């Protein structure tokens, strides 16, 4: 409970409007036209939160100063987290477990198709993120194969990565069954999955918070590879320059 109260005081104060209609992005751009005809460089932000919570509308993620003083365009995008973004239902195919990562890719695709309308150059996109956002950046870096053309030309990882993890990620299948049990699934539904899909999102969120359930991404070798370190070592990933490091005083 103390952990939840701390998290809410930092990331949910004041509390934003919550809705399952959540896949939106914010664009911060200078008011003037770019000097370069091809458009300005673009910074694409992925927030942290352990892939358990977060949103792109935090005051700390306001890209106005970046856009105004560094002459760049900043894009911050929502992606689904927790069971909504990373369901661990055995009824789903493996490629249906990382919906949050698919959201990130869809937003990057949107940028490629639309950023010119805001004065940006789709060939000058740098992805950057912190904590789980950095994990997401690394997942993107290592899932595009050698000689491919990812929808970004550079990457920045702040206080996180996905390639070198000491212990395997804990399975979220037990958390899934805890959730379905508390919801009384399958009940009148044909399966646990259809039962959860029909449940009220607020009820799902309440159960997750009460029982501290965590839902982790699964290696699907599409959005998250099972051997990122090996792929790096063998040069089997797209050649993208990266900058990595840790944020001073993080979490204090």
b/e map 200-220, b = 16+ CB within 10 Å = eeeebeebbeeeebbbbbbbb
Look at residue 151 and give its three-state secondary structure.
Answer: coil
Instruction: Average the pLDDT over 166-177 and give the result.
Output: 87
Torsion of CA 127, 128, 131, 134, to 10 degrees: 40
More confident call, 16 vs 79: 79
Beta strand 73-77 with 154-158 is: unpaired
Residues 229-244: tens digit of each pLDDT = 999 999 999 999 999 9
Residues 33-80: tens digit of each pLDDT = 888 888 999 999 999 999 999 999 988 999 999 999 999 999 999 999
pLDDT computed for residue 3 by the predictor: 64
Enter the pTM of the model. Answer: 0.93
Instruction: Average the pLDDT over 185-198 and give the result.
Output: 96
Residues 117-151: tens digit of each pLDDT = 999 999 999 999 999 999 999 999 999 999 999 99
Domain boundaries, the chain: 2-166+218-245, 173-213
Q: By 3-state DSSP, what share of the chain in percent is helix, strand and coil, each rounded to 5?
A: 35, 15, 50
pLDDT computed for residue 251 by the predictor: 67
pLDDT at 221 over 90: yes
Other beta carbons within 10 Å of 3: 8
Q: What is the CATH number of domain 2-166+218-245?
A: 3.40.50.1820
Angle at 47 between CA 52 and CA 54, to 5 degrees: 40
């Amino acid at each position: 409970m103390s952990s939840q109260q701390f998290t809410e005081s930092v990331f949910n104060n004041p509390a934003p409007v919550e809705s399952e209609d959540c896949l939106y992005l914010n664009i911060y751009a200078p008011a003037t036209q770019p000097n370069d005809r091809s458009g300005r460089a673009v910074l694409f932000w992925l927030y942290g939160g352990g892939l358990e919570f977060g949103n792109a509308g935090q005051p700390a993620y306001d890209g106005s100063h970046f856009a105004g003083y560094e002459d760049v365009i900043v894009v911050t995008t929502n992606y689904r987290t927790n069971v909504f973004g990373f369901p661990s239902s055995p009824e789903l195919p493996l490629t249906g477990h990382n919906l949050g990562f698919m959201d990130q890719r869809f937003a990057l695709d949107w940028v490629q198709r639309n950023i010119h309308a805001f004065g940006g150059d789709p060939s000058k996109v740098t992805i950057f993120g912190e904590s789980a956002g950095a994990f997401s950046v690394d997942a993107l870096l290592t899932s595009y194969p050698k000689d491919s053309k990812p929808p970004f030309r550079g990457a920045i990882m702040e206080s996180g990565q996905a390639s070198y993890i000491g212990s395997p990620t804990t399975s979220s299948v037990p958390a899934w069954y805890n959730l379905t049990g508390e919801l009384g699934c399958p009940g009148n539904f044909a399966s646990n999955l259809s039962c959860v899909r029909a449940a009220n999102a607020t009820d799902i969120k309440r159960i997750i918070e009460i029982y501290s359930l965590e839902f982790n991404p699964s290696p699907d070798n599409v959005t998250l590879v099972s051997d990122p370190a090996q792929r790096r070592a063998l040069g089997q990933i797209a050649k993208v320059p990266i900058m990595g490091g840790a944020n001073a005083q993080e979490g204090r």
